[in-house]
Structure 1
C-alpha cells in the first residue's frame, strides 16, 4: 500500500505503551515518534497565515453517498467555530475538559482548538467507559465534556452515577438526543448544550439555546424542547429549512423540508471532487440531506435522517461500504444493509444476506470475517439469511420494505 503513495516521504511509528502495536507498523516506519520529537526546537511557531481562507485541514466523511469525501476546512472557519465553542460551552481557563468525543471526528468538532485557545485542562480517555468517566468526573473535577447521545446514555445509566456537586456542561450532537436521557442528565446536575451539524460545517452549527420561559414548564416538556436542534450558533449564518425549489417551508413545526446552511462555517468544498461540491452547494446553500421542520420560534427539529446512512453513536456508517465488504465473502450472493433500532447506539447495521447456491455460511462466521475487513463499529449487529430480497420493478432491493418491518412500533428512526 505505501509504495503506491507517491507523495509520502516518511512514515512515523506512534507506539502506544499500553496497547498492541498496529500490524506491520514496525517494518513500514522510517522513524519512531520519539525520534521525530527530537527534531523539534524551542523556536516559536508562526502565528499568522498569508490567507485566512486557505486550507487548514481535510476531514474525510462518508457523507450521504457512501464514498469517502475530503471536506476542506479553512483557517477562518476553524477559528470562528472554535470561538463559537468557547462562547456556547462557556469555556474559561479554569474549565476541565474530558475527552469523551473522538478528536478525529470533524477535528473533534473544532473543540481541540477551542479548549487549547482559552487555556483549560485537557483530560483524555482511552475509551468511553462509564467507570473511568465517573472516576475522572470526581477526581479531576471535570466541568465540560462533549459526545453523542450514546455517551450521555452511558454516563446516566452507569452504576457509578450520582448527583454532581457542581455543574457539568455536557454538549451533545451527532444524533438527536432523546428527551429521556436529557432529563436524566439534568437530574444528575448536567447542563445540556444540544448542538447539530456535520463534518461539512466544522462540526456544530446550530444550538438549542435555552429560553427563560422554559423553566416554568414541567420537566418532560423542558426535555422535549431541549431535544430540538435549535438555531444558528453565534458564528454561523441563519439556518433554513427549504422545499425542493429552495423555498422556505412554513414555520409550523409540521411541514417537512431539508436543512440547508451557508457562511464562514461551511466547508470550502470537497477535495478534488468538483461534481460532489457543485451538487452539495446547489442553489448557493450547503444541502445537509437531513429532513426537518422549523418551529414558529425559529428552532429547527430533525424528523428523520438521510435514508441510507446509519447514525450509530454519533458516527455516520455507510450501508454501501458494509454491503461491499460483505459481497467480498465467497459464500455471499447478494446483500442489503439497513439500520435497525438499538437502545444504546440509536441504531446499528443489520445485513440481509443471500447465500450462493450450496454455500455454507452462518452469522458468526460472517461477522468474524467483517471484523477483519471494516471498522468494528461498522460491523452489523445482526445478520439474517433470506431466500430473496424485496425488489422494485427494476430489480433494485426495496430497503424501505426491510426498514418498515424492523422499525414497526417506532414512530421515528431517531432513537436515544
Structure 2
C-alpha cells in the first residue's frame, strides 16, 4: 500500500498542466475602466497565490486509485485551460455551466475556471434524483455539463454537451482531454487572453434548491470574511469531506458529521477563501472507504493547522469516551478548528476551538459569527456552551443585521425588536453579501426583499450586547395554547440529558392546546442498551429533566426513541418528514 509521501513524490501532472516558465498571472482588464476602479473578482485570489507561492501544495486528492497533487502554479494552469476550454466550446458570458460531481479536482477547477470565461457555475447535489437533476438542468438553461463518471447516468438524455471525468488526472481521461484542448485553443495567450469582467455585479453562481444568483463582488467579500473569521492562513489545510468519517487516530479527527461538500451552494465561498489564504485543500468524498491509506505523520508535516467545516454539529454523534483523543489546542502542535453552523456546539468539543457561524444560501453562506468574550472563561462548560451557541454579530464585510417585528402587510416599516434577549423577531440583512435574487422569479425576490432587507425566515432574539440568538425557523415554531415554543430551544435542553445522542423536536396536534412538542431521540449506544424494553421509563426521565429547564408548554408531550433521524444530503434534519410521522402517530 502506497504511503502519502511516496504518492506525492511519484505524481506527475499531465503535460498540458505544466505552466510556461514565463507565465503572466494577470487577467486582462479593459482600458475603458477608471484608474481608481478595479472590479472585485475572486479568481484573482488563485492567480495571486500562484504568483507568491507557486510551489505550495494547493490541491490534493489522495483517496482514489490515481491520487493527484497540484501546486498553485500547476493548478492555476489547469484552471486557465478550463476557461479556454469553455471558450472553445462556444460558451458566452452569462451562460450557465452545470457541474455534477462529488468533492474532486474537477469541481474545484470549475468553481474557478468558469469565472475566467465570465460564465455562471451551477453545482448540483449528487444525491438528488434524476428527475430533480433534469429540472435543474432545464431551469438553469445549462449550456455545458461536467459530470463525474459515477453520476453520468443522472444526466443521460440531457440536451447540452457532456464532459465526463474519470477522476484519474491522466492524459487519457476525457476531462483531461477537455483541459488539453483548452490549452491548445489558447495558443499560449495565457491569462492575458482572458478578460476580467468589468461589472462585478453580474451573476457568478446559480445555486439550488433556492435558485439564488450571486455576484463576483459578493463572493469576493464573503470569501475574505470566511478566511478572516476562521483564521485561515498558508499553514491551513481545508478538508472537503462530504461523508461521515471516523478516524480514531491520535488527535486526528473524532467524527465530524457531514463536512461541507463543494456542491453545496458553491461551497459557501470557501473555494475562494482557500485561495485567498494560500491554503491547501484536500478533496475527498469517501475517506471512510479509502482505497489508499496514507502516512498520517507525513500529511501532518505539510500543514500545522487543519480547518474543518462542519455543516451542523461537530462530535455530537459519538460516545464521550471517543472524544478523549481531542486534545486542546495548547496541548498539541496542531490546531483543530471546527467551524459549524445551525446546531449549537457541545461543550465537550471546546478543545477544538469551535467557531459558530450562521448564514443561508441567499447570503453566500455564513455572514455572522459568535465572538467569544473574556468574561466567559470563568463560567462552567455548560454556561459557556450556551453563550457560544449564539449566532453573534455580522461579519465585517456584511452590513449590520437586524431583528425586526413581523410585518402584517407589504410596505410596512421594519421595526426592530427590543434588545432584551426575550422578544422574538425575524433576522433581516442587507449588503454586498446578499444574493442578487431568485433566478427567474421576481415575485419571490420582491417578497424576500420587502422593506429593503432580505428576510431570512429565522426567528431570533436580540441580546443587549447586540448579538443575535436564533430561536427557530418560523415554520418550526410550535404554538401551544397561544404560547410560542422554540423547537431549537427545546432541543438544546433535551440534548443536555446524558443519555441523549441526538434529538429533534416538532409540533404535533393536541386536542386542547392546539399543538404540543414531540421529540424524536437517538440514544447513546450504552444508554440504548440500558433503556431497552423500558422506553416509557426513559420518556418519564427525559420529561422530568425537561421540566426543570423548560416551561410546561415547551415540555415534550410525546417522546419517540429512534435509531436515526431523516436528513438531507448536507446533514440537515428533515423536519417535514418528522412532522408527517408525528401526525401519523396522532392517529394511532
TM tier, shorter chain? 0.5 to 0.7
Give the Cα–Cα distance (whole angstroms) in 1 for the partners of residues 213 and 354 of structure 2: 29
Between 6-15 and 30-39, the greater mean CA deviation after superposition: 6-15
Match of 1:71 in 2: 212
Deviation at 1:272, TM superposition (A): 0.9
2 CA distance for matches of 1:383 and 1:238? 35
Q: Name the structure 1 match of 2:153.
A: 23
Secondary structure, counterpart of 1:194 in structure 2:
strand
Measured after TM superposition, the shift of residue 91 of structure 1 is 0.9
Match of 1:44 in 2: 191
Match of 1:145 in 2: 308
Write out aligned runs for 1:88-167 (5 A): 88-99=229-240, 100-127=259-286, 129=288, 140-141=299-300, 143-154=306-317, 159=322, 162-164=325-327, 165=332, 166-167=334-335
Shift of 1:151: 4.2
Q: What is residue 35 of structure 1 aligned with on the other side?
A: 177
The residue that corresponds to 1:387 in the other structure is none
Distance apart, 1:108 and its partner CA: 1.3
Q: Deviation digits for residues 289-327 of structure 1, max 9, x if unmatched?
A: 01110111111001112326999xxxxxxx9xxxxxxxx
State the Cα distance separating 1:34 from its structure 2 match: 2.8
Q: Which residue of structure 2 lines up, in the alignment, with residue 307 of structure 1?
A: 475
Change in Cα spacing, 1:171 to 1:230, as seen in structure 2 (3 Å) is same
Task: State the partner residue of 2:226.
Answer: 85
1-structure distance, mates of 2:214, 2:370? 24
Residue among 250, 265, 284 paired with 2:433: 265
Q: Distance in 2 between matches of 1:202 and 1:170?
A: 19
Match of residue 177, structure 1, among 316, 341, 344: 344
Correspondence 1:212 to 2:374: yes
**What is the aligned counterpart of 1:275 among 420, 439, 443?**
443
Deviation at 1:400, TM superposition (A): 12
Distance 2:577 2:435 in 1: 37
User: What is the CA-CA distance between 1:52 and the residue it aligns to?
Assistant: 0.8
CA contact (8 A) 1:205 1:233 kept: yes
Give the match's secondary structure for 1:40: helix
Work out the number of aligned pairs and report it. Answer: 323
Q: What TM-score do the two structures reach when normalised by structure 2?
A: 0.48
Once residues 149 and 84 of structure 1 are traced to their aligned partners in structure 2, the CA distance between those partners, rounded to angstroms, is 20
Q: CA deviation at 1:402?
A: 3.7
- Report the counterpart of residue 59 of structure 1 in structure 2: 207
Q: Encode CA deviations 1:158-207: one digit per residue, 9 max, x unaligned.
A: 8476133232111101x2324xx2x1111xx3111100010000100110
d(CA) in 1 for partners of 2:208 and 2:196?
Answer: 26
| Structure number, greater radius of gyration | 2
Tell me the secondary structure at the aligned position of residue 353 of structure 2. strand
CA offset at residue 96 of structure 1? Answer: 1.3
- Residues 97 and 274 of structure 1: is their aligned pair in 2 closer, same or farther, counting only changes over 3 Å? same
In the alignment, which residue of structure 2 is the partner of 1:296?
A: 464
For residues 60-84 of structure 1, give each alpha carbon's deviation from its aligned partner in whole angstroms, at most 9, with x where no partner exists. 13xxxxxxx3111011110000000
Is the 2:200–2:216 Cα contact (8 Å) retained in structure 1?
Answer: yes
Aligned to 1:255: 423
Structure 1: distance between partners of 2:455 and 2:195: 34
Contact 1:256 / 1:293 at 8 angstroms: preserved in 2? yes
Identify if the C-alpha distance between structure 1 residues 221 and 250 changes in structure 2 by more than 3 Å, giving closer, same or farther.
same
The residue matched to 1:143 in structure 2 has which SS? strand
Change in Cα spacing, 1:233 to 1:57, as seen in structure 2 (3 Å) is: same
Q: Deviations over 1:340-374 (max 9, x none)?
A: 63549xxxxxxxxxxxxxxxxxxxxxxxxx99xx9
1:231 aligned onto 2:231: no
Q: Quick check: 38-47 or 298-307, which moved more?
A: 38-47
Structure 2 counterpart of 1:341, from 514, 520, 526: 520
Q: Provide TM-score, normalisation by structure 1.
A: 0.66
The structure with more helix, counted as a fraction of residues: 2
Whole-Å Cα distance in 1 between the matches of residues 582 and 318 of structure 2?
35
SS of the residue 1:23 aligns to = helix
- Of the three residues 346, 351, 359, the one matched with 1:197 is 359
Q: 1:273 to 1:126 in 2, by over 3 A?
A: same
Q: Alpha-carbon deviation of 1:249?
A: 0.6
Quick one: structure 1 residues 155 and 53, their matched pair in 2 at CA, closer, same or farther if it must change by over 3 Å? Answer: farther
- Say which is worse superposed, 195-204 or 152-161, in terms of deviation: 152-161
Q: Give the Cα separation in 2 of the matches to 1:270 and 1:402.
A: 32
1:217-252 residue CA offsets vs partner (Å, 9 max, x unmatched): 222211110001001011111111110242111111
